[in-house]
């Protein structure tokens, strides 16, 4: 076990720790076992000892609902857990979000620690304190800001992760490379591509830490997303969400859509004169090197524009795209429909 860094979010501090196996985390909590509630899903149950009492959620996005929250808090109450107890999530972004949300409201807040087991949860969902459930057909409609006390990163768990899920996380890592204040993450990704794609644990650990370090720089300066700094982390996501929406959330995986969206944002920056062409090309090439399809054309552009419009309604304001002014320097800009049409078709 190795303490890597701490991340301050307002009054909360999250300690990021690297562990060789999840057993280490279990052993660490053995003497307070009676006040710990473990939560996982049907796929991540394998990482916990068979004799441990665990709340097991159905796997996947379907579990981001009140039913999961009720199950977690019901079991906590049945077991007599008090406010000084701890909820411990072992799973991807869904399990982490559900456990942290439940912890944020159980007895007005008990502590929560996360053991992310997907690459996306390791580099993104576990750090930053956002929790939410999907409700009334809207993703992440109801939630809280509630940072975890500890995030235990165990890169070895990625060995069993499916390819699509792994690439969902890689899309976010490459996005972090664009947002990094320097190009060290991009260089690391270029130099270690084969080891990363072969999932060499040591190299993945380094990549995860470098990626988290980028996220940390944005969230520490804007813990509750009110300063326009944390918005940078949405780079590519406005394009991506509209693409996912026209594909009925099944044609493109989230990682593929994010990669495509980041490249559209880089090209938009070039078109409006905020992004240098060589900068945009370097990162487009990086996505291509990692096998992301960045040249898809949207066939139903009106549907795509309508999806952007619905994003605008959700936010109650004009859609502001994250564009890059240079390495690690973002700006928020509206784009006219004509330019968006040219970029996606």
Ligand X SMILES: NC(=O)c1ccc[n+]([C@@H]2O[C@H](COP(=O)([O-])OP(=O)(O)OC[C@H]3O[C@@H](n4cnc5c(N)ncnc54)[C@H](O)[C@@H]3O)[C@@H](O)[C@H]2O)c1
Interface with ligand X by CB under 6 A: which range of 68-76, 160-168, 219-227, 298-306? 160-168
* Residue closer to ligand X (CB basis): 37 or 158: 158
The mark string for 166-195 relative to ligand X (x by CB under 6 A, - otherwise) is --x---------------------------
Q: Contacts with ligand X: how many residues (CB under 6 A)?
A: 27
The structure tokens listed for 27 are 């052993």
Using DSSP's 3-state secondary structure scheme, residue 162 falls into coil
User: With binding defined as CB under 6 A, does residue 14 bind ligand X?
Assistant: no
Nearest-approach distance from CB 314 to ligand X, in angstroms: 14
Q: Are 132 and 182 in contact (CB under 8 A)?
A: no
Residue from 73, 120, 174, 235 touching ligand X (CB under 6 A): that is 120
142 burial type by CB count under 10 A (0-12 exposed, 13-18 middle, 19+ buried): middle
User: With binding defined as CB under 6 A, does residue 135 bind ligand X?
Assistant: no
* Residue closer to ligand X (CB basis): 93 or 247: 93
User: With binding defined as CB under 6 A, does residue 204 bind ligand X?
Assistant: no
CA 56 to chain centre: 21
- Residue 302 CA: distances (Å) to CA of 53, 86, 153, 245, 344: 51, 48, 42, 12, 11
Interface with ligand X by CB under 6 A: which range of 36-44, 65-73, 103-111, 302-310? 36-44
User: With binding defined as CB under 6 A, does residue 125 bind ligand X?
Assistant: yes
Q: Are 113 and 97 in contact (CB under 8 A)?
A: no
User: With binding defined as CB under 6 A, does residue 121 bind ligand X?
Assistant: yes
Please list, in sequence order, all residues whose beta carbon lies within 8 angstroms of the beta carbon of residue 334, skipping any fewer than 6 positions away.
Answer: 318, 319, 320, 321
Q: Is 135 left (phi over 0), alpha (psi -120 to 50) or beta?
A: beta
User: With binding defined as CB under 6 A, does residue 284 bind ligand X?
Assistant: no
Q: How many Cβ atoms sit within 10 Å of the Cβ of residue 171?
A: 28
User: With binding defined as CB under 6 A, does residue 41 bind ligand X?
Assistant: yes
Residues of span 312-341 touching ligand X by CB under 6 A: none
CB-hemisphere CA count at 13 Å for 51? 3
* Residue closer to ligand X (CB basis): 14 or 157: 157
Residue from 14, 104, 118, 234 touching ligand X (CB under 6 A): that is 118
Tell me the β-bridge partners of 5: 16
* Residue closer to ligand X (CB basis): 118 or 284: 118
The structure tokens listed for 253 are 């995986």
Q: Which residues here bind ligand X, judged by CB under 6 A?
A: 41, 43-44, 59-61, 64, 91-95, 97, 117-118, 120-121, 124-125, 128, 130, 140, 157, 160-161, 165, 168
């Amino acid at each position: 076990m190795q303490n890597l860094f701490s991340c301050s979010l307002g009054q909360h501090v999250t300690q990021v720790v690297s562990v060789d196996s999840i057993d280490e985390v279990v052993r660490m909590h053995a003497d307070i076992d009676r006040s710990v509630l473990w939560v996982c899903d049907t796929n991540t149950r394998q990482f916990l000892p068979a004799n441990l009492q665990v709340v097991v959620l159905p796997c996947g996005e379907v579990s981001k609902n009140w039913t999961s929250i009720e199950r977690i808090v019901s079991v906590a109450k049945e077991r007599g857990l008090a406010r000084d107890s701890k909820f411990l999530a072992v799973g991807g972004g869904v399990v982490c979000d559900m456990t942290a949300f439940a912890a944020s409201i159980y007895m007005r807040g008990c502590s929560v620690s996360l053991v992310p087991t997907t690459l996306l949860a390791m580099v993104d969902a576990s750090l930053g304190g956002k929790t939410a459930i999907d409700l009334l057909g809207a993703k992440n409609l109801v939630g809280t800001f509630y940072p975890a006390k500890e995030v235990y990163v165990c890169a070895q768990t990625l060995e069993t992760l499916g390819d699509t899920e792994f690439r969902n996380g890689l899309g976010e890592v490459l996005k972090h490379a664009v947002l990094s204040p320097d190009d060290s993450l991009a260089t690391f990704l270029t130099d270690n591509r084969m080891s990363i794609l072969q999932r060499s644990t040591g190299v993945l650990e380094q990549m995860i830490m470098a990626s988290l370090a980028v996220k940390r720089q944005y969230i520490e300066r804007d813990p509750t997303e009110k300063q326009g700094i944390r918005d940078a982390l949405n780079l590519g996501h406005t394009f991506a969400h509209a693409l996912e929406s026209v594909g009925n959330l099944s044609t493109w995986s989230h990682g593929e859509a994010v990669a495509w969206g980041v490249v559209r944002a880089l090209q938009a920056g070039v078109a409006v004169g905020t992004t240098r062409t060589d900068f945009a090309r370097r990162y487009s090439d990086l996505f291509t090197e990692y096998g992301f399809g960045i040249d898809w054309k949207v066939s139903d552009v009106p549907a795509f524009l309508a999806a952007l419009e619905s994003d605008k309604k959700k936010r109650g304001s004009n859609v502001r795209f994250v564009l890059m002014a240079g390495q690690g320097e973002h700006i928020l800009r509206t784009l006219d429909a004509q330019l968006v049409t040219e970029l996606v078709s």
